Structure 1
C-alpha cells in the first residue's frame, strides 16, 4: 500500500532495486563457499559435511518455494520481499557468530527460506515492471550475485581481518539499504484473495506452459547441477590441482558467473531456441575441457572449461526463461517462476550431495570431478534431444 507523504521510486529505479536484491541474495548464498576450507580446518569436518551444509540451502529454498512461491501474487511483492530480507539478515547474523557445523546449518537453512520466498516475488516484480528487461535481469542477476559474492568473500578473507565475519557484515549493510528501498517502492500488483490457500504446496501449471516446460526442465537441471558442483567443490578442486590462495579458489565461481553473464548480455535479443542450443553446446564443450584438464592436472585448461561452462549456464538458463515467461499471465508469474526455480535447486543440491559422498567413499575429488563431468554431459545431451524433438514437432 502506498505510504502517504513519501516519494515513490520510479519504475526504472524499482527494477534496478529488485535486480540488486536478487544479486544480494545470490551473493549471500555464495559468500560461504571460499570459507568452507577455513571452517573445515577449524571444526574438522569432511567434504561430505561441506556438501550437506551446501545442500541444506537448496532444500530450504525448495521448501520455501513450494510454500511461499505464490504468496506475492496474493498479498503483493513488497510484503514478501520485506520479510525475506529480514530473514536473510538474520541468517547473516548467525554466520557472524557461527561456532560449529550446527550453526552453519541453521544459517544456511535461514538463507534458503529467505531466498525461496524472495525468488518468485522479486522475479515476478521485475516482469511486472518491464517484461523484456525483467527477463534479462532474471537471467543475469544470479550469475552476477554468485560470482561477486564468492570473489568478495575470498578477497576479504585474504586481505582484511575477521575473515569469517567481515563479508557477512558487508552484506548485512547492503540488505539493510535494500530494505529501505522496498519501503519506498510502489507495489506492482493488486493484492487478491486466497493468500492462506496459496501456502499449501501445490504444483499448478497454466496449460500454455506445460509442453514448453517439459523441454526446458532437462536444460535447467543440467546447468544448475553444474553450478552446484563448481560452487561446492570447485575451490577445493583448484586447490588440489595447485597450491594456491583462497582468492584463486574464489575465482572459480567468479569466472563461471562472469562468462554466464556475458553470454546472457550477448544473446539477449536472440530467439529462445537459439540461446538454449548455444548454451547446451557450450556446456558439453566446457565439461569435455574440464574432464581433460582434471585428468591432465591443467589449471589453465580447467578455467577454460569453467568459462565455457559459464556460457552454457547463462545460455541454458536465459533460453529457458525466454521460452516460458512470454506464455505466463501477470497473476501466474510468481508461481510459475517459483516452479522453474524448484527445478533449478533440485539440480543445484541433489547431485552436489551425491558428489560429496563420492569424494569421501568412492575415489576422491579428481575422480568424482571426472564422473560428474560425464554425468552433466549426458544430461546436456538429453536436453539437446528434447529441444530438437520439440522443434521438429512444432
Structure 2
C-alpha cells in the first residue's frame, strides 16, 4: 500500500515547494479565506428559503430536507474522500472542489423548482466536504512551525464565513435586483478567482498514491474502552449541531415572523448573529482548556435557548436577537471544546477513525433533527417547533456539562 509523505518545510523546502509562486504565509491566509468563502456559500441560501417557499409552495418539512441533504452530502464526502488530498495532493483536490462548487451554485442560481434545490445543495455539500478535509490539512502544512494557528483559523473561518455569507445574502436579497441570483453570481466570481491562486500554491504532498488505493471509506471508530465516555461527551456535538441545523434552516422563518420590515435582511441576520458570535468566542477563548470551555458554553446555551423559546412565544424580536447572540457564544464554545474532548479520547494511531465518527455525529445531529423540526413546524406550527427545539438542545447541553466531570 502506498504511503503519504508530508515534507517538512524546514528540512527539504526546495523539494516540497518546488512548484507554486505563492509563499507559505500567503498560502496559509489564502486557504483560511477560501474556507470562509465555502462556508459563506453554505449559508447564502438561508435568507432565500422564504422566497422559494412562496414561489414553489412547498412545506417547512421540505425546506428542512433541503438543508439535511447538504449535511448528509458533507458527511459522505468526508467519509469517502477525507484523506484524498494526503495521497494525490492538496491542489488537485481543492481544484476539484472548486469546480463542483461552481456547478452547484449555478444549479442553485438557475433552479426552476424545488427539486433543483436538492441537487444544488447535495453538490454543494460534496464540494464543501472535500474542500474541508483538504483545507484543514493545508492549514497545518502552511502554519508557522511550532504554532497552533491552523486549527484556530479553521474554526474561526467557519464561524465568520457562515455569518458573513448569511448577512450579505440577506442584504442582497432585500435590496439588490435579482433576489435569488445576485448572491450566487458573486460567489461564482469568488470561486473562479480562487482557481489561479490555488494553482500558485505550493504543493506539500510529495508522494502520490494510485487512485484505487485512496478511494476507501474512512471507518468511524470508537476509542477502545471509552465508548461510554465518548457517548456522553458526544452530547456536546448534539447540542451544538442541533442549534446550527435549526438556525440555518428554520431560523430565518422564526425571525421573519417577529419583525415586520426587511424580512430577508432579518433572516440573514439570524444566522449571522449565531455564527458571528460563535466564531468570535472561539477566537477570544481559544487558549482555554476544553472542559472549561464546555462548562462555560453549556449554561450560556441553555440561557440563550430559553430566550429564543420565550421570544417565539411572546413575539419579542429584541429578546430573540439578544438570546441568539448569547446562544451563539455558547454554541461556538460547545463545539470547540467538545471536539477537543472527543479527539483527546483517541490514541494517536486511531485519530482519523475517531475524527470520522465525530463528523458522523455532528452532521447527523444537524440534519436529522432539522427534518424532525420541519415536520413539527408543518404539523403543529413554528412556535411549537421552536420550543421543542430549545428544550431538546438544552437537555443535551446540560448532559454535556455533566460529561466534563468524567475523570476516567
Common fold by TM > 0.5: yes
Match of 2:9 in 1: none
Is residue 232 from structure 1 mapped to residue 249 from structure 2 by the alignment? yes
Tell me the TM-score normalised to structure 1 length. 0.91
Is residue 28 from structure 1 mapped to residue 41 from structure 2 by the alignment? yes
Q: 1:178-197 residue pairs with structure 2 within 5 A?
A: 178-193=194-209, 195-197=211-213
**3-state DSSP class of the match of 2:118?**
helix
**3-state DSSP class of the match of 1:52?**
helix
Residues 1:77 and 1:7: Cα distance change in structure 2 (over 3 Å): closer
Is residue 39 from structure 1 mapped to residue 79 from structure 2 by the alignment? no
Deviation at 1:323, TM superposition (A): 3.9
Contact map agreement 1:69 1:334 (CA 8 A) in 2: no
Structure 1 residues 55-64 or 197-206, which shifts more?
197-206
Q: 1:1-394 residue pairs with structure 2 within 5 A?
A: 7-130=20-143, 132-193=148-209, 195-205=211-221, 214=231, 216-245=233-262, 246-323=264-341, 337-361=355-379, 363-389=380-406, 392-393=407-408
Contact map agreement 1:123 1:337 (CA 8 A) in 2: no
CA distance in 2, matches of 1:334, 1:89: 29
Where does structure 1 lack aligned partners over 5 or more consecutive residues?
none
Deviation at 1:133, TM superposition (A): 0.6
Tell me the TM-score normalised to structure 2 length. 0.88
CA shift digits 1:102-124 (9 cap, x unpaired)? 11111111101111111112112
CA shift digits 1:295-351 (9 cap, x unpaired)? 222111111211111111211122234446678899987765554333221111110
Structure 1 residues 187-196 or 19-28, which shifts more?
187-196
Contact map agreement 1:95 1:104 (CA 8 A) in 2: yes
**How many pairs were matched up?**
389
Residues 1:208 and 1:18: Cα distance change in structure 2 (over 3 Å): farther
Match of 2:4 in 1: none
CA distance in 1, matches of 2:199, 2:349: 22
Where does structure 2 lack aligned partners over 5 or more consecutive residues?
1-14
Q: Name the structure with the higher helix share.
A: 1
Structure 1 residues 348-357 or 281-290, which shifts more?
281-290
Instruction: Tell me how large the CA RMSD over aligned residues is.
Output: 2.5
